[in-house]
Structure 1
Amino acid sequence: MGLLSAPAAVDKREYWGFSLYDWANSGYVTTTGTVLFAPYLTSVAEQAACGRVGTTEDPCRTNLEILGLGVSPGSLAFYVVTVATLVSALFLPIVGAIADRSPRKKLLMCGFAWAGAIAASSMVFVTDGRWALGALLLFIGNLCLGSSMVVYDSILIDIAPPDDRDDVSSRAWAFGYLGGFILLSINLGVVTAHDALGMSQGTAVRLSLLSAGLWWGLFTFVPFVKLRNRPPTGVVQVRSGSMVRQSFGQLGATLKHLRTYPMTLLFLVAYLFFNDGIQTVIAVSSTYGEKQLGFETQVLIMTILLVQFVAFFGAIGFGRFARRYGSHRTIMGGLVVWMVIVIAGFTLPEKQIVPFLAMGVAIGLVLGGTQALSRSAFSQLIPKGREAEYFSLYQAGERGTSWLGTLVFGLVHQITGSYRPAIVALGLFFLIGLVLLSRVDMRRGIREAGNAQPTLV
């Protein structure tokens, strides 16, 4: 079996369709969500608030006025992510309940993806003080990404048997990092050579944002063609009426009976904490590098390229560790490494690139593996007929939709005026997640959910 080939028990056509949606959305997650948009939106907001872009030596201290509240330009993007995720907590479970009852899952997934891609492409118009437009488009893009991922994650259960899910999930994440690496490499060339191309750096950034939206939208046609729809199975019977009315009824029944699956619930709570930490580190890394450590955009993009490159092999490596030691113990080991990373991040010196790159390598090693294995491990704990609905709860803490982590990061920055204490505060999320995850009995949870036991957990 090749490094990225389909496991023997998985249909090759659907394997490629599933994997290439990770490739598609990673253009947005990497170029827009991780590297360019948060610092760019911060600069646009600073220009509107202070009449100039803040620097490490002379930061912008004037707040924006939003609904009568003073908001620091440096915290704006993180507050937008927070609001988007709070809305997601209400919206995504309904999306999941509808998906469980729909015979057209792939159309639902791709529809949200294309809507998000339109919002992402429209970020090219965020300039000349239009920070409010940027905040709105970021909100829509993140909400659509989370909605599409609810359906996407549930498809893993449809296409892969229990013993192959770690491999399929890890390889799909690896495809995502490869796609993100390629697009970000192109954007690095554009941003770096903006003078030679006859454009400003701001224009180069906006064209890169446009490319991420187009990448997401166009490559979504691959899963649309290769994945196949399946009739719903094991759907819980609730009130009669329209699909939306039934979905609300199913959601209510699931929340009511979630306590009958205590290991599933405990895994979800643990995941909420440690994934909030992971997602916040991803979301704030470029802002931390530019605004706290004083690196230029080109350095940030090269560092993220390094992370993407290492993460490709990290995701594959974690999948192989899981085949030997089980996904549960492998995830826990990854969380220990994450705690070391955020503590070390607090001590990074300004404008010294070698320690910053070393931190990028460490992040890449654990980034994709912990997330990919969390997805496949959780899939084992879901009762039949509620796959997408449970993954909608899972997505409340998924990539780009963290709420508590970004809120804490933004508040600590606003209180202290520094990103250093904000970054180290994230270690608490990994610690709490690790303690809770250590108490999850995977075998018991799989048995309670009525699923087949894999060889290793």
Structure 2
Amino acid sequence: MADELSGGNAMSPGQKSGKRGIYGWMMFDWAAQPFFTVVTTFIFGPYFISRMASDPAAGQAAWGYGIAAGGFLIAVLSPVLGSIADQTGPRKPWIAFFAILKILALCGLWFAAPGSSLVAVVALFTLASVAAEFSIVFNDSMLLRIVPKSDIGRVSNLAWGMGYLGGMIVLIFIIACLAASPETGRTIIGMEPLFGLDPLQGEDARASGPISALWYAVFILPMFLFTPDAGGRRAMGTAVREGLAELKSTIGEVRQRAGIFRFLIARMIYQDGVNALLALGGGFAAAMFGWSITEIGIYGILLNIVAIFSCLYASRLDTRLGSKIVVLISIAMLLFATIGIVSTGPGFTLFGALAFGAADSGGLFGTAAEKAYILFGLFIGIAFGPVQASSRAYMARSVSEEEAGRFFGLYALAGRATSFLAPFMVATVTAASGSPRLGMATIILFFAAGLWILWTTPYPADRPDGKPATDLAV
């Protein structure tokens, strides 16, 4: 099975892939990103928050709790699966299994009509999120096997940029061909929605689930066909026992490798803020300004265009200056952007220090406050690709190929260990105060703390031979 999924090219340690294998690996991000772009952030999530729930505050709270539940499951199981994968060898069978779960859950979102059970819909979304993140653990752990360390930052950022391009293409398709105005019954380009979708029943937003599933099923195939997988295979029972034993040893080991431990703590905190901002930011804007699916989609397209070019630039910057500099700059920009969006509301920005009035010029984003929100959002677009792609490269440069699976499992744990905390805080503060703005403001704390810890973390976090890193320079 493993050889079939590897295209018959299992790899031995130290062997690197050719260009076709690298491009196949990069296509995973192209295939996976539409789920995060159109389901989590810009189409289905805002639809759920603003139209499925009784009011936006209740919708934001329910969506936040769903994200928190998924984050908890990912945090608990990612390091376990990473260690088991190191023992079984091949990663592709795991990716295939979780791909099936993700595809089925996404198709189920089609049935999320207004008035449907919020619990059932959140459960489907949570299952898709968990399956998506587990697939990413195994895909990320393949990076060291196929790319020389000198090229890791470049390839990682390019792959992330390809992902944003794929997500943007799907987003444009939904906005141009499916998302019709309830008033006119036509899309932004003046056509009737394909397949006769009814915007009053949210069918344009609900279709984002099956469309993302189809995109994923088709474009994940080059990775299976062309990217070589790890060789060797042990019986599952043996792999589970030895993987769990190795995980226990790894947790003890990472506490002795102070650089990696500090990096993982920093990532745990700032990635928590990234996850919450991406999952809740679109719904926050849609509820505050009353944006339609078309408007929130165009906002997403703008952010994705910026993200593509920022990843291309970061791929060179990472090679020249190192992953740490790229991550620090990105976190600082996300901190600034988050302060900006939570300080903006109808008629004002910067917590009212700059007042615009409520004049609406008509058309899309007709008020000055909306334009200010978009301006701050562009900083998110610039930063949220490089902060994740260069973090992946930071980790890959800090471990050896043989330990990649178990350490990328801990890396996923660090990205999700408290990932329920930021959405939980946003949801809880929102529910307690009745203010989505106050709830979103809690994300600022995560970026500030993560930035401070990473500033004092060595780069690479540890030498690949396991000895302490000595480069403490920023």
TM-score range, shorter chain: 0.7 to 0.9
Indicate which of 245, 249, 252 corresponds to 2:245: 249
Provide, for residues 62-114 of structure 1, a one-character-per-residue CA deviation record: whole Å limited to 9, x for no partner.
xxxxxxxxxx3431111011111112222111211121122321222232123
* Deviation (angstroms), 1:21: 0.3
* Deviation (angstroms), 1:451: 11
Query: C-alpha separation between the residues in 2 aligned to 1:452 and 1:171?
Result: 27
Conserved? CA contact 1:190–1:204, under 8 Å: no
Q: SS at 2:142's partner residue?
A: helix
When residues 117 and 453 of structure 1 are mapped into structure 2, their CA distance, relative to the original with a 3 A threshold, is farther
**Partner in structure 2 of residue 405 of structure 1:** 422
Provide, for residues 260-293 of structure 1, a one-character-per-residue CA deviation record: whole Å limited to 9, x for no partner.
2111110000001111111111111111111123
The range that moved more, 214-223 or 298-307, is 214-223
When residues 121 and 159 of structure 1 are mapped into structure 2, their CA distance, relative to the original with a 3 A threshold, is same
The range that moved more, 84-93 or 240-249, is 240-249
Indicate which of 59, 64, 68 corresponds to 1:78: 64
* Deviation (angstroms), 1:190: 3.2
**Partner in structure 2 of residue 68 of structure 1:** none
For structure 1, the residue ranges without an aligned partner over 5 or more in a row are 1-8, 47-52, 61-71
Between the two proteins, what is the percent identity of the paired residues? 24
1:132 aligns with 2:116: no
Query: C-alpha separation between the residues in 2 aligned to 1:182 and 1:114?
Result: 23
**Partner in structure 2 of residue 323 of structure 1:** 319
Indicate which of 264, 267, 274 corresponds to 2:263: 267
Conserved? CA contact 1:409–1:425, under 8 Å: yes
When residues 74 and 339 of structure 1 are mapped into structure 2, their CA distance, relative to the original with a 3 A threshold, is closer
**Partner in structure 1 of residue 159 of structure 2:** 172
Conserved? CA contact 2:310–2:382, under 8 Å: yes
Q: State the TM-score, normalizing by the size of structure 2.
A: 0.83
1:363-442 aligned within 5 A = 363-398=380-415, 402-442=419-459
Query: C-alpha separation between the residues in 1 aligned to 2:418 and 2:286?
Result: 22
When residues 145 and 453 of structure 1 are mapped into structure 2, their CA distance, relative to the original with a 3 A threshold, is farther
The range that moved more, 387-396 or 268-277, is 387-396
* Deviation (angstroms), 1:388: 1.7
**Partner in structure 2 of residue 64 of structure 1:** none
The range that moved more, 266-275 or 417-426, is 417-426
* Deviation (angstroms), 1:412: 1.5
Query: C-alpha separation between the residues in 2 aligned to 1:384 and 1:336?
Result: 31
When residues 160 and 382 of structure 1 are mapped into structure 2, their CA distance, relative to the original with a 3 A threshold, is same
User: Aligned AA for 1:372?
Assistant: A
**Partner in structure 1 of residue 169 of structure 2:** 182
Equivalent residue pairs, number: 422
User: Aligned AA for 2:64?
Assistant: F
User: Aligned AA for 2:216?
Assistant: W
Provide, for residues 397-436 of structure 1, a one-character-per-residue CA deviation record: whole Å limited to 9, x for no partner.
5489932211111111112211212222211111111111
**Partner in structure 1 of residue 86 of structure 2:** 100
**Partner in structure 2 of residue 50 of structure 1:** none
When residues 285 and 250 of structure 1 are mapped into structure 2, their CA distance, relative to the original with a 3 A threshold, is same
Query: C-alpha separation between the residues in 1 aligned to 2:129 and 2:208?
Result: 18
* Deviation (angstroms), 1:312: 0.4
Conserved? CA contact 2:137–2:412, under 8 Å: yes
* Deviation (angstroms), 1:166: 0.3
For structure 2, the residue ranges without an aligned partner over 5 or more in a row are 1-15, 186-191, 347-366
**Partner in structure 2 of residue 293 of structure 1:** 289
Query: C-alpha separation between the residues in 1 aligned to 2:430 and 2:178?
Result: 28
Query: C-alpha separation between the residues in 1 aligned to 2:224 and 2:333?
Result: 37
* Deviation (angstroms), 1:191: 3.9
Query: C-alpha separation between the residues in 1 aligned to 2:46 and 2:237?
Result: 47
1:346-365 aligned within 5 A = 346-350=342-346, 352-365=369-382
**Partner in structure 2 of residue 219 of structure 1:** 219
Q: State the TM-score, normalizing by the size of structure 1.
A: 0.86
Provide, for residues 329-388 of structure 1, a one-character-per-residue CA deviation record: whole Å limited to 9, x for no partner.
221122111111111112223254321221232111111011110000111222443312
User: Aligned AA for 2:241?
Assistant: R
User: Aligned AA for 2:257?
Assistant: Y
Conserved? CA contact 2:90–2:232, under 8 Å: no
User: Aligned AA for 1:225?
Assistant: L
1:34 aligns with 2:41: yes
* Deviation (angstroms), 1:42: 3.1
Query: C-alpha separation between the residues in 2 aligned to 1:285 and 1:87?
Result: 23
Indicate which of 299, 305, 313 corresponds to 1:309: 305
Provide, for residues 286-307 of structure 1, a one-character-per-residue CA deviation record: whole Å limited to 9, x for no partner.
1111112322221111001111
Conserved? CA contact 1:345–1:423, under 8 Å: no
Conserved? CA contact 1:279–1:400, under 8 Å: no
Conserved? CA contact 1:96–1:151, under 8 Å: yes
**Partner in structure 2 of residue 5 of structure 1:** none
